[in-house]
Amino acid sequence: MYRNSLKDLKAWLISEFRKPLVLRGARQVGKTWLVRELAKEMNKHLVELNFEKQRELSVHFESNNPTTILLNLESALGLSIHPENSLLFFDEIQAAPQLFAKLRWFYEAMPNLPVIAAGSLLEFVLERHEFSMPVGRVNYFFIEPLGFDEFLMAKNEKHLLTRLEQLTITNPLNTALHEKALHLFKEYLTVGGMPEAVNTWIKTQSFDTLARVHNDLINTYKDDFSKYTGHLSINLLDQALTAVPKMLTKKFIYSRVNPNARHGSIKQATDLLTKSRLCYYVKQSAANGIPLDAEINSKHFKMILIDVGLVSTLLGLRLYQFKSIDEIAQINHGALTEQAAGQLLRLLLPNYIDPSLYYWSRELSSASAEVDYIIQDNQRLIPIEVKAGNEGKLRSLHQFMSEKPWKTAVRIYAGPLTKNQINTKTPTGNSVNYELISIPFYLIGQIHRLVNTV
């Protein structure tokens, strides 16, 4: 399976400024696979230590001398470890969090040995860290589910992907290829980007088998709840997770999770879900300038899930009852497309940045308005409206553009790639003039290129 992250990991491996690397991401997004594939493709001897399965190995790290640690490991594992041609991998490091402190000594005393650490629920360990974190001596790398471009590669659609990466207004897809790309995007809405789901779907093309994978993933995540609930009810965490797909596209309302629970407890539940990277906040921002985070309203937010493929499962849809991708794509279409758009917009940032999502809204009884997403493009902000079909009114977008200094906006929809100059009036009578770039769903990953070249 092709992963964009692998290219960046290779660049890290050969960099003269390399530091020990900490992979962060939810369970089952492919962290361990990436490290194994990196070692394989770069011809490195992988020394993989799984501290969840082999907790007894942590005793060999009592010294702060990497040479002593390697000698201990060689004796314990019965193998030779040569720094020049090896890759040392601490998997499931959350089971032995004190080992984070040892990364400093590998960086300072044995920089020729590449070291990677990864694990599940790392956010909780890093937040608590009752140990000495090697600040400034590690690199962080964030792993997400597969994007649509990686999905196309998994589907062996390399030539179509190359075509999408070269599209311009003057050189668009013809109607047949546009419809093919849209159908593949509907497939992505159903399958999602979790590696196991993608791999299973490509091998079986079975809705029943795909549904089993999605359900198993959800149950795996729920099994983790007991590891980080503390005094919080597991039932409340379950209710919060189930509520997220039901409120996609809407402001998240605590009372809709459980009308009888304290809002403080529900907030704690949503915070835990985001720390586990099962869900993500979409923060409301005034969007007057950069950074977007400087003008957020912490009381107003939306939420999306880690992956669009899991939405249908949490909504209780039975995939095996459907006959085609098109049938499934019609269910909750608007919510699915906004979820997928948010998921793919997170991938626009480099792997070393923990991505955040933002939206804009104005809640007035006479003139409420909301723009689905706001992204930063160099020194400007780009508002993004997501439309499930190939049409749809843009009143909120017009209102936003009339109030803000930005001159370019994006519509994500099912239609072709186009650029138009908008000259109209808002419902309140204000004139508004701006450039609207309409981008089909399958080009979400190309937004930065398109807003600067079309």
CATH number of the domain enclosing 68: 3.40.50.300
In terms of DSSP H, where are the helices of 192-304? 195-204, 207-228, 234-246, 263-275
Predicted confidence (pLDDT) per residue in 182-213, tens digit: 999 999 999 999 999 999 999 999 999 999 99
Lookup result for tokens 């704690």: 268
Among residues 147, 117, 146, the alpha carbon closest in space to that of 134 is found at 117
Q: What is the pLDDT of residues 65-79, one digit of tens each?
A: 999 999 999 999 999
Q: Torsions phi, psi of 262, nearest 5?
A: -70, 140
pLDDT in tens, 34-52: 999 999 999 999 999 999 9
Question: So what's the pLDDT on residue 128?
Answer: 67
Residue 360 lies in a domain: yes
pLDDT reported for residue 366: 64
pLDDT at 130: 63
Q: Where are the beta strands (DSSP E) in 82-170?
A: 86-91, 115-118, 139-142
Whether residue 378 is found in the same domain as residue 431? yes
142, 164, 195 - which closes a domain: 142
Beta bridge partners of 384: 373, 410
| Domain end residue (candidates: 86, 118, 142) | 142
Same domain for 213 and 340: yes
- Model confidence, pTM: 0.93
pLDDT above 70 covers what percent of the chain?
A: 95
Q: Can you give the pLDDT at residue 331?
A: 67
CB 246 within 8 A of CB 253: no
Same domain, 227 and 82: no
Same domain, 136 and 190: no
Q: Tell me the residue range of the domain where 100 lies.
A: 4-142
Inside any domain, residue 82: yes
Q: Are residue 428 and residue 372 in the same domain, yes or no?
A: yes
Domain check: are 218 and 123 in the same one? Answer: no
Tell me: do 439 and 315 sit in the same domain: yes
Q: Are residues 125 and 216 in the same domain?
A: no
Answer yes or no: is 149 within a domain: no
Read off the pLDDT of residues 82-119 as tens digits, 9 standing for 90 and up. Answer: 999 999 999 999 999 889 999 999 999 999 999 999 98
Q: Tell me the pairing of strands 369-371 and 373-377.
A: unpaired
Q: Is residue 151 one of the residues assigned to a domain? A: no
pLDDT at 333 over 90: no
Q: Same domain for 373 and 236?
A: yes
**Domain contains 245:** yes
Does residue 222 fall inside a structural domain? Answer: yes
218-274 per-position pLDDT tens digit: 999 998 888 777 767 899 999 999 999 999 999 999 999 999 999 999 999 999 999
Calculate mean pLDDT across residues 120-125: 79
Q: Does residue 87 form part of some domain?
A: yes
Among the residue ranges 29-33, 132-136, 200-204, 420-424, the one predicted with the least confidence is 132-136
**In a domain? residue 156:** no
CA dihedral 107, 112, 113, 114 (to 10 degrees): 80
Place of tokens 């290779």: 10
Same domain, residue pair 275 and 385: yes
pLDDT value of position 294 = 94
Q: Same domain for 137 and 191?
A: no
How many independent structural domains does the chain possess?
Answer: 2
Q: Where is the domain boundary, 121, 142, 163?
A: 142
Regarding whether 235 and 368 lie in a shared domain, the answer is yes
pLDDT at site 88: 98
Eight-class DSSP state of 126: H
Instruction: Read off φ and ψ for residue 111, nearest 5 degrees.
Output: -65, -15
